Structure 1
Amino acid sequence: MRKSQWILVLVASVVVFSLYVFGRIVPKNTEMPDNGQVAAADAAGQIAPAALEDIVAKAKQSLNPALQMRISGFENSITRGDLRDQKLSAYNALARLWDSLGNIPLSAYYLGEGAKLENSENSLTFAANLFLTHMPHEQDAARRAWEATEAQGLLQQASGLDPQNDTIQVALANSEVQSGNVMQGVQRLLKVTATDPDNVQANLLLGRLSVTSGQYDKAVERLQKVINRQPDNTEALYFLAEAYKATGKKKEAIATFEKVKTLVHDTGFSKEIDQYIQSFK
Structure 2
Amino acid sequence: MKKQQWLLISSALLAFILLFTFGITVPPHKQPTATVAANVASSPSIRFETLLAKAKEHISPAQAERLARLENAVVRGDIKDQQIHVYHQLARFWSDSARVFEPYAYYTGEAAKLENSEKSLTFAAHLFLDNLMAETNPAMQNWLATNAKVLLEKALAINPANDSSRIGLGACYMFGNISDNPMQGILPVREIVAKHPDNLYGQMILGLGGKKSGQYDKAIERFKIVVEHQPDNLEAIFHLAECYDLHGEKANAIQWYEVAEKLIRIPEAKAEIDKRILELKK
Give the structure-2-normalised TM-score: 0.77
Correspondent of 1:102 among 77, 99, 106: 99
Distance 1:249 1:57, change over 3 A: closer
In structure 1, the residue matched to 2:158 is 161
The Cα shift of 1:11 comes to: 3.2
In structure 2, the residue matched to 1:113 is 110
Q: Deviations over 1:146-182 (max 9, x none)?
A: 2221122111111222221122222222233232133
1:60 has 2:56 as partner: yes
Question: Within 5 A, what are the aligned runs for 1:197-212?
Answer: 197-212=197-212
Q: Higher RCO, 1 or 2 (CA under 8 Å, sep at least 6)? A: 1
Distance 1:71 1:265, change over 3 A: closer
Inter-partner Cα distance in structure 2 for 1:108 and 1:273: 31
1:254 has 2:251 as partner: no
Inter-partner Cα distance in structure 2 for 1:78 and 1:178: 32
Q: Deviations over 1:226-272 (max 9, x none)?
A: 12222222222222222323344322221111111112233222211
1:86 has 2:98 as partner: no
1:75 has 2:71 as partner: yes
Inter-partner Cα distance in structure 1 for 2:249 and 2:20: 34
In structure 1, the residue matched to 2:23 is 11
1:127 has 2:139 as partner: no
Inter-partner Cα distance in structure 2 for 1:249 and 1:195: 31
Distance 1:237 1:8, change over 3 A: closer
1:224 has 2:224 as partner: yes
* Residue pair 1:8, 1:133 contacting (<8 A) in 2 also: no
Secondary structure in structure 2 of the residue aligned to 1:164: coil
Structure 1 residue ranges without an equivalent (≥5):
1-6, 14-45
Q: What RMSD in Å do the two structures reach over aligned CA positions?
A: 2.5
- Kindly, what percent of the aligned residue pairs are identical? 39
The Cα shift of 1:106 comes to: 0.6
Secondary structure in structure 1 of the residue aligned to 2:66: helix
Distance 1:264 1:9, change over 3 A: closer
Corresponding pairs, count = 243
Give the structure-1-normalised TM-score: 0.77
For 1:237, the aligned partner's letter is I
The Cα shift of 1:224 comes to: 2.0
In structure 1, the residue matched to 2:44 is 48
Inter-partner Cα distance in structure 2 for 1:64 and 1:163: 44
The Cα shift of 1:8 comes to: 6.8
Secondary structure in structure 1 of the residue aligned to 2:23: helix
